[in-house]
Every structure is written in C-alpha cells, then in structure tokens.
Chain A
Amino acid sequence: MSLTEAPPAPPSQPEEPQRPKLRKPSTRKRLVPYWLLLPGILWLLVFFALPLVYQASTSVQTGSLEQGFEVTWHFQTYVDALRDYYPQFIRSLLYAGTATILCLLLGYPLAYLIAFKAGRWRNLVLVLVIAPFFTSFLIRTLAWKTILADGGAVVDVLNTLHVLDVTSWLGWTESNRVLATPMAVVCGLTYNFLPFMILPLYTSLERIDGRLHEAAGDLYATPATTFRKVTLPLSMPGVVSGTLLTFIPASGDYVNAELLGSTDTKMVGSVIQSQFLRVLDYPTAAALSFILMAVVLLAVTFYIRRSGTEDLV
C-alpha cells in the first residue's frame, strides 16, 4: 500500500495527529541527583568550608588570648610568619619531596611486581601493602623510634657498614645516631606514605594490557625499551596521583618530625601545631596554614602541567 493511496483514517481514531508524546521526567525523578548530593555537600560545608573561612578570618586578626582577638586586616602576620619560619617551610618541602621520590623508587617495582608477576599471590601482597593501616599511624611511628634507637640493630648494622659515616658527612645523620636526624624523619615519612604511592601505581599498571608488552617485544623493543616506551608512559597517571597522594600529606605532616626528629628537623606542620596549641598565637598559626596550602597548590599545579598527563585516557 503506497502513501498516496492511503485510505481515510477510520472515524474511531482521535483527531490529534499521532505524535509521540514527550514525557517530562517527573519532578521527583529530576530532584534525585540533588538529594544524593546533599549529604556530601552539607558535610563539606560544615566541616571544610566553614572552618576554612573561620581560619582565614583568624589569620588577619590581632590581639591576645586574654584580651580576645579582633579582625584588623593585619596582613603583616603573613609576612612575619614567612620571615620567621621560612627554614621550616623549605625543610618541609625538601623532606616531603625526598620521601616522595623514595616512595616512588620503592613503590614502583613493588607495584609492577604485584600487577604483572604476582599471579595468584596478587591479593595477598595487596593485603600486606594495606596491612599497616590496621595499626594506628601514631603507634607505627613510635615503633620506628625503637627501630632506629641508639644502639639498636639498625644503627649497629649501618655503623658496621660505615654507612653512617657517609650519611653523617652528608648531614643526614649525626655521629652514630639515626634518631633525631633528618634521615629518621624522611624514613618515617617514606614508610608512612608508601601505601599511598603503591595503590595508585598498582591501579594504573594493572590496567595496562599485557599484550602491549608482547607487541612491543614483537616490534624489536628489548624488555628495557618496552618499559621505557610503553609501560612507563602508560603508568604516568598512577605516578602523578601517587606522588600527589604522598607529597601533599607528607608536606603538612608533623608526627614524624615530632617523634623521630629533633628541634633541628622541625617541619612547618610542627610549627603550626605548636603555634596553635602551645604558643596560642592563633593568627600566626592560621597564616602559616594558608601559606602552606598556597605553596602546595602552586607546586601541584606546576607539577600536573609539566607531567602533561591530561590526554592519557
């Protein structure tokens, strides 16, 4: 039956043209995403945004605990804080950076092993990587105090091997001591943040198709070249997120510096903590927090720009 010869519509049909009705989603359905967002938004508002605003206002206040603090837009606090505590800032970035590089050097081979070679042991090794989280951060760091203690096994071995002579000469340790030196703090940081490096590295390595390795080998790439040209570039998203997850918390950490270091190894986290809780100079503490936040944000932005991982899937 062709269109031109179509018979007139039977009278029983409605006069309305047969247009498919566009059904509007009901109001309730449209609101669902917002309802799901609400708890998270509220949480962030109460526990992140409000304290941040409060801290920002504290940082430009003047006064004392006895007389009360008042907003006087005193930005000089920032200048003074930076002038007084820049060594601790530099130290923080240096320690956190060193710990991040150490984490990467230790974590990458391990993550590679779990992703490609562990076979049926994969899950067990992954559990072992996360196992330290079953104990508190503080207790683990305290344990390192014992491990690195003067006259302990680690120090003895390093002494016998004359490693401490070298590290002391470099300024990382002090005459036969490891505890209360920069090396102890960096070791503690490395240990504590290693899982944060391994897990993202593992995730991005595990996603690499094993056949790409075969293809590279088939195309005349030696195993080393395959790693350099295929595996490493494809794991860059993991490297970037791993280093960020390690560097950011490490640069603000104070537990390791407090427990494993000395007054000479104070990091900016320790300074902020003591300004808040001991000196009770809230404006300086708040200003230091903001400076730290700005420095880390800048460093991270620069790093992400440079590593150019945006177009990596």
Chain B
Amino acid sequence: MTQQQQTAGGDVRLAGISKTYGSFTAVQPLDLTVPQGSFFALLGASGCGKTTTLRMIAGLEEATTGTVFLGGKDITDLPPYKRPVNTVFQSYALFPHLDITENVAFGLRRRGIKSVKKQVDDMLELVQLGDFAHRKPHQLSGGQQQRVAVARALINHPQVLLLDEPLGALDLKLRRQMQLELKRIQTEVGITFVHVTHDQEEAMTMADTVAVMNGGRVEQLGAPADLYENPRTTFVANFLGTSNLIEGEIVSTGGDLVVAAGGGKLTLPRERCSAPTTSGGRLLLGIRPEKISLAHADDADDIAAGRNRVTGRITDSSFIGVSTQYVVESPAGTALQVYEQNIERDTRLLPGAEVVLHWNPAHTFGLDAAQDIDAGATSVEDAE
C-alpha cells in the first residue's frame, strides 16, 4: 500500500487529449503528466474543462482525440470498470440502499474478493468512521459521507485516485479540516491523487503540483509557491490570489529592466519577466499586495533607496484582524491593493491620506501586455 511497494512508472500521461461536444470544445488538445505518488490539482473556474479532463482519466467520458496512458499502458479504450482508477464524486454518489460497510466493500466484492471485513474495518478506521459501519448514507453528515466516498474508492488500492470537487458541498471550516485529512491520507497511502477544484486556496494547500486551467487549456503548471510567485499569464496572476498589474513602457534593458509607468520609473529583474523585452515595448508589471509597504507621504524621505515607489491616495481600507487591506488610487492604477500586517499601525493611514507604496524590485514580475489585464480576476467563489 505504500509508495515503495508500487513499481515505478505509474505515471498518468495524457497525450493530445481533447473533448468536444458538437461545436463546443470543452478541453483543447492537452498534454499532461501526473507523476506517480504526487498530489496533483487541476484548478480553474467552472467550465474550464478540469472535470472533463478528470472524467476522461476515469473513463466516464470518451476522449475525442488523444491517448490516456497509465503506467505506460494505453487505457484510452478501456471502460471505467476495467481501469485501475477510482473516483470520489462531487456529490459522493453513495449507494443509498447499502450500509456504509457495503458501500465501502462494493469495489472489493465486484472483483470477487470474499473476505472483506478486515479490509473494510481498516479502511473505516483510516477515515475515522469505525462506529458508523452499519448506518445508511442518509444517516451521516456531509463530512462523514465525504469520508465514506474516499474510503470506498481507496479500499481498492487504485493506481490513481480521482477527486472531483470532493469538498465543494462542505462548509468552510469542515472543508479546511478535510483538506488536511485528505493530505494526511495521501501521504499515508502514497497513491497518486488527481484533485479537481475551483478553490485556489484548496489547490495550493493540498497539492504538490497545480495545473491552472482556463478555457480548456492548461495556462500554467507548477508547484503552488512557484505559480504564486512567478505567474506567466494575467489569468494565473489574478486567479491565484490577488495581483496588482501596472502597465508601462520599457525604457531601459541594460541590467535590470526599467519601466516607465504612472509618471515614475519601476525596475524588475530581467529573469522575472516572461514577456519579450525590447526597449520601447509595453509590459505589465505585477506585484502581490502583501509585498508592498505603505508609508505616509510625509515619511517619503525615510524610504530606502533602490525600492520601487508609487505615490497615491488611500480610497478604502478594511481591517480584517491579522492585517489591514487598503485600496490605493494612483496614476499607475486606479485600485491598487495593499495588505499591511497589523504590527505597528500608522493611525494616519486613513481613506484620503496621501501615501507612497514601496517594495523590493526583486518581488516584481513582468507579463506580456498583450493580454487581458482582468483575466481571471472575477470572483469564482459561487461558481458551480
């Protein structure tokens, strides 16, 4: 059951896989490799093709083109019941006429395994539901049903466990708890998890690797921290957390890039720019809200040299306990977001105050200005 016992080469590999319904393309031809034993997240807003991709791995959806490989074996034409993968469905899809034991034992029994009791007991122990073995699904809470769904899939020791928004129906607190739980189980059993979600926080908390999907394509793929620090598209920059994007013109390409924006000059390291850099070209500068420091205009002279500066005026501030979020209007952008930790609060920082935003140039990233600056910025909390 542990990772070591499984032979290497259990990767899931999608080669040119796509799905079209009539004239609608749900998934553009896609190449993707999920390494064995990893916790892989497909992240995107509803309708981005992430669930369809998952269902093609499960065999519940027929791929229009392309091939699905599992451990080097072509499984594209195998029906779901012949694939060594199991799914945790969005609504759990527990069998209402069977008790928890029989729900969990379902897969084992279908494969002709007679003595299921020990395995079922162990599995219910793993998901901490030992006392509920003889209840019916409708007698369980949402979180408990969710764990039954995980147990029912995991007991089969699939090569890959597919999770289709498994936490979507739970309330926030339970969701956070289940995220840690799922992560614990994954570490314990070492099976490859492919997790579909529209919650960027969930994806970053749980997964080793996140693939951000948009419009049937993978926009960017990488470790959560890497995606967050180095987004390569405006969609990723806005969808994963919040980004301040400032449009400017490249004025110098010797050494660090210097960009004229909002009446001032901002610099960024050349290696952090994913766009072509020619002098005179347009560029989008990105900076995360928590990386910005806020100083009152009167203290502007105290700011260390070499930092990027933008002057502006606070239009809104909201206190949220651990930090205060400010919205700043400036020539560089009408609604720049700044998150300040509440360590020593400057009482002058109220709406209407003239301020200087400053940050370390190394924290700035550069994006191609030809993209939609607002891509991925709309809220997806209510999606699906």
Interface, chain A (partner B; CB < 8 A): 209, 211-212, 214-222, 225, 229-230, 233-234, 312-313
Neighbouring B residues of A225 by C-beta, 8 Å: 110
- A209–B60 Cα distance when bound, in Å, is 15
Q: Taking A218-B153, A220-B111, A312-B97 as given, write out 15 further A-B residue pairs in contact, using a Cβ cutoff of 8 Å, ordered by the A residue number.
A: A214-B87, A214-B93, A215-B89, A215-B94, A217-B60, A218-B58, A218-B85, A219-B107, A219-B110, A219-B156, A220-B82, A222-B81, A225-B110, A230-B95, A313-B96
B69 at the binding interface (Cβ < 8 Å): no
Neighbouring A residues of B85 by C-beta, 8 Å: 218
B364 at the binding interface (Cβ < 8 Å): no
Q: List 12 A-B contacts (CB under 8 A).
A: A209-B91, A209-B93, A215-B93, A217-B80, A217-B81, A218-B80, A219-B81, A219-B106, A220-B110, A220-B111, A221-B110, A234-B96
Neighbouring B residues of A216 by C-beta, 8 Å: 95, 106
Which of A220, A312, A313 touches B81 (beta carbons < 8 Å)?
A: A220
Beta-carbon contact of A214 and B60 below 8 Å: yes
Which of A209, A218, A229 touches B87 (beta carbons < 8 Å)?
A: A218
- A166–B91 Cα distance when bound, in Å, is 53
Q: A283: shortest Cβ distance to chain B, in Å?
A: 49
B263 at the binding interface (Cβ < 8 Å): no
- A120–B85 Cα distance when bound, in Å, is 32
Chain A contact residues: helix, strand, loop or mixed: helix
> What residue of chain A has the Cβ atom nearest to residue B102's Cβ?
A229
Neighbouring A residues of B91 by C-beta, 8 Å: 209, 211
Which of B58, B89, B96, B107 touches A220 (beta carbons < 8 Å)?
A: B107
- A221–B81 Cα distance when bound, in Å, is 6
Beta-carbon contact of A219 and B86 below 8 Å: yes
Place the interface of chain B in its size category.
20 to 34
> What residue of chain B has the Cβ atom nearest to residue A234's Cβ?
B97
- A251–B304 Cα distance when bound, in Å, is 97
Name B49-92 residues within 8 Å CB distance of A.
58-60, 79-82, 85-87, 89, 91
Q: A131: shortest Cβ distance to chain B, in Å?
A: 32
- A233–B102 Cα distance when bound, in Å, is 14
Q: How many A-B residue pairs have CB under 8 A?
A: 61
Which of B80, B94, B106, B152 touches A214 (beta carbons < 8 Å)?
A: B80
- A230–B152 Cα distance when bound, in Å, is 15
Most buried by B among A219, A220, A229, A313: A219
Neighbouring A residues of B152 by C-beta, 8 Å: 219
- A219–B79 Cα distance when bound, in Å, is 11
Q: B32: shortest Cβ distance to chain A, in Å?
A: 20
Neighbouring B residues of A221 by C-beta, 8 Å: 81, 106, 110
- A209–B82 Cα distance when bound, in Å, is 22
Neighbouring B residues of A219 by C-beta, 8 Å: 81, 86, 106-107, 110, 152-153, 156
> What residue of chain A has the Cβ atom nearest to residue B107's Cβ?
A219
Beta-carbon contact of A211 and B89 below 8 Å: yes
Most buried by B among A211, A218, A233, A312: A218
- A229–B108 Cα distance when bound, in Å, is 14
Beta-carbon contact of B97 and A220 below 8 Å: no
Neighbouring B residues of A222 by C-beta, 8 Å: 81
Beta-carbon contact of A218 and B97 below 8 Å: no
- A87–B308 Cα distance when bound, in Å, is 103
Most buried by B among A216, A220, A313: A220
> What residue of chain B has the Cβ atom nearest to residue A236's Cβ?
B97
- A230–B96 Cα distance when bound, in Å, is 9
> What residue of chain B has the Cβ atom nearest to residue A313's Cβ?
B96
> What residue of chain A has the Cβ atom nearest to residue B94's Cβ?
A215
- A221–B87 Cα distance when bound, in Å, is 13
- A211–B60 Cα distance when bound, in Å, is 10
Q: A116: shortest Cβ distance to chain B, in Å?
A: 15
Neighbouring A residues of B60 by C-beta, 8 Å: 214, 217-218
Name B216-267 residues within 8 Å CB distance of A.
none
Q: A70: shortest Cβ distance to chain B, in Å?
A: 56
Neighbouring A residues of B89 by C-beta, 8 Å: 211, 214-215
Beta-carbon contact of A211 and B93 below 8 Å: yes
Name B108-157 residues within 8 Å CB distance of A.
110-111, 138, 152-153, 156
Q: A114: shortest Cβ distance to chain B, in Å?
A: 22
Neighbouring A residues of B153 by C-beta, 8 Å: 218-219
> What residue of chain A has the Cβ atom nearest to residue B61's Cβ?
A214
Neighbouring B residues of A217 by C-beta, 8 Å: 59-60, 79-81
Q: B178: shortest Cβ distance to chain A, in Å?
A: 19
- A92–B60 Cα distance when bound, in Å, is 48
Neighbouring B residues of A234 by C-beta, 8 Å: 96-97
- A211–B79 Cα distance when bound, in Å, is 16
Q: B314: shortest Cβ distance to chain A, in Å?
A: 35
Q: B123: shortest Cβ distance to chain A, in Å?
A: 13
